[in-house]
Structure formats: C-alpha cells, structure tokens
A = this chain, B = another copy of it.
Amino acid sequence: MVNQQFAFALHILAMLAYSGKILDSRTIAASINTNPVVVRRLLLALRRAGLIETSTGKRGGATLTKPPSRITLLDIYDAVAWRPAIAVNRRRAFRACPVSCSMKTIVGRISHETDQAIRRQLGKTTLHRLISEIR
C-alpha cells in the first residue's frame, strides 16, 4: 500500500483505546502529526464501520463503541482499505493469446488468496493487545 490510512486509523483507535475518553480531531491530529481534516475523514470511515461514535458541537469528538478487546485489526483494515493489496490488470485481453485470456482469472484468485492471508493475520490481533505494547 502506498497510502498510510491504515496506519493513521490504527493510531486513531489506539489513542481512543489508550485514553478511554472522548478525543477531538485536533488532539488526535497532533499525535499523528497531520491535519485535523485528515483525521476527521478517517473518523467517518471508522464510524461507518461501527467502531466509533462521534458527536458534533462543543465538547464533541470520538469514542469507541466497544471495548478494545473486541476490536481486531481486521475490523480496522476493513474500515479503511478498499483496494486489495495485489492489483489485477483490468485491460482487455489479447484474444489470440491463451495466457492473456486466462490471466485476469488467475491473478484474481491469487489476489483473493493473498487478501485472505492478510485478513487472517490481522484478525489475530486485538486493539487491546496493540495498546498493551505502549510504553
């Protein structure tokens, strides 16, 4: 992955789990060293996934909806990673070439299997275990 959204999302949720309090996007952004709007966009994705709740207005911010022991890194990955780790070539195949005609299917399967392997791995770790490594 080129983008850092998964790393940012982990950081956000680690902050929320570690503090246990409502945190605003400015505080979180300072910890990540980025802009509050970048954080807010990720908060939206995490909320859509049901991992956090947000509230607007004064004293607003975000909190977890579940205990950190019941959130896995896979939940977070699903919330923010929409592209598979392995891309497939989507162009038209060259009809006269059997390799070309089969590659989309074959690479599609490889991509899917690899995704499953990633998901299996991420499903093993909870947010609770992740924050237990802080300090």
Instruction: Tell whether, in the assembled complex, residue B6 and residue A135 are in contact, meaning their CB atoms are under 8 Å apart.
Output: no
Q: How far is the CB of A118 from chain B (nearest CB, A)?
A: 6
- Given A7-B87, A86-B1, A18-B99 contact (CB < 8 Å): yes
Interface size on A, residues (CB 8 A): 53
Nearest-CB residue, chain B, relative to A29: B94
A contact residues vs B (CB 8 Å cutoff):
1-4, 6-8, 10-11, 14-15, 18, 30-34, 73, 83-89, 91-94, 97-100, 102-103, 105-107, 110, 113-114, 116-118, 120-122, 125, 130-131, 133-135
Please provide the 6 A-B residue pairs with the shortest distance between their CB atoms, ordered closest to farther.
Answer: A117-B121, A33-B91, A31-B100, A85-B85, A102-B134, A31-B97
